[in-house]
Structure 1
Amino acid sequence: MAHTKQEILDHINGVLVDLFEIEEEKLVPEAKLYDDLDIDSIDTIDLLIELKKFVGRDIDADAFIDARTIGEVADVIHKM
């Protein structure tokens, strides 16, 4: 099932709140994962696992090498 970009953003934000206890007001598409949200490489793997469950297919972690913001992560997922 294809998800809209907004559905993907909403899911990413939900994961960030639930798993990493990040305040919702910080979760804007321009928020940088590492700089603004303190998401490290281990956290990124956990996020990708949750996104894999959401989209129901494997996700190539290499596709996310250049993704720095929540919006960029959503774009990569949306284009899959």
Structure 2
Amino acid sequence: MIDKLITPALRTPKLVLALIAIAFVVCGAIGTRAAARLSNGGFVSTHSESDLALAEAPVAAAAGTGRAAGMSADAIVQT
């Protein structure tokens, strides 16, 4: 079964490369249309660790605590 696919491909490598190039362009065109339709937002968790860290960052910098004062990441987690 696979011999029926491989033999013509080995006889006409330029045709195979041309078909691959066409498929690449078509997939790229479809992909850009799909990317434009995807939402870049929606669910926002205000209790996520990263959101809480962002919310505390200005407070830590103003108070002189956190990395701004030279503390390690372990010390920040323990406080």
Higher percent of residues as helix: 2
- Structure whose alpha-carbon radius of gyration is higher: 2
TM-score (norm 1): 0.24
Normalised to the residue count of structure 2, the TM-score between the two structures is 0.24
